[in-house]
Amino acid sequence: MEVKFKKLHAKAHKPEQAYDTDAGFDIRLVDSHVNYQDKKVTYNTGLAIEIPKGYAGLLFPRSSIHKTTTRLSNSVGVIDHGYTGEIKAVMDLRTIQDVGMPYLPGDRFLQLIIIKLNEVEFVEVDELSPTARGDKGFGSTGRK
């Protein structure tokens, strides 16, 4: 599959896989801006991509995020086919003292996974099919 990308910044990097069997393509940071009042950091990649029709791009933090005090604000970013603006990520800081910029320009900090979309039609019904779990929700299977 061909995915077009555009560098919006001279220091932007092409998305890349560390290994050819990796699901995700690493995305690198170009620059960032801290909002001290909201305890958030906006990370800019300097990249725009064109997701093919019938697909979506999902942005996840790389697993190394556990070494930082930040968390991706929306858990998973979604890039729809129609969006061709800059890929950005907003991360929450646990405390404002944590502003020590865990990611620096050039660091790999996100991974992009491109998935095929299914055509879906929602059908309203009076009853759903019975299952063993039914409506048992949060924690219904216990701790062990």
Q: Is the pLDDT of residue 144 over 70?
A: no
d(CA 20, CA 24): 10
pLDDT at 75: 85
- pTM for the structure as a whole: 0.83
For the chain, the farthest-separated pair of C-alpha atoms sits apart, in whole angstroms, at: 56
Please provide the size of the chain in residues: 144
**Mean pLDDT confidence for 107-122:** 95
Half-sphere exposure of 34 (CA within 13 A, CB side): 16
Domains and CATH numbers, the chain: 4-116 (2.70.40.10)
Give the chain's count of helices (H) and strands (E): 0, 9
Of 18-32, 37-51, 90-104, 129-143, the range with the lowest mean pLDDT is 90-104
pLDDT at 93: 81
pLDDT digits (tens, 9 = 90+) for 62-107: 887 777 777 788 889 999 999 999 999 998 887 666 555 678 899 9
pLDDT digits (tens, 9 = 90+) for 7-24: 999 999 999 999 999 999
For residue 92, which of 19, 25, 39, 30 has the smallest C-alpha distance? 39
78, β-bridge pairs = 58
Q: Is 65 exposed, middle or buried (0-12, 13-18, 19+ CB in 10 A)?
A: middle
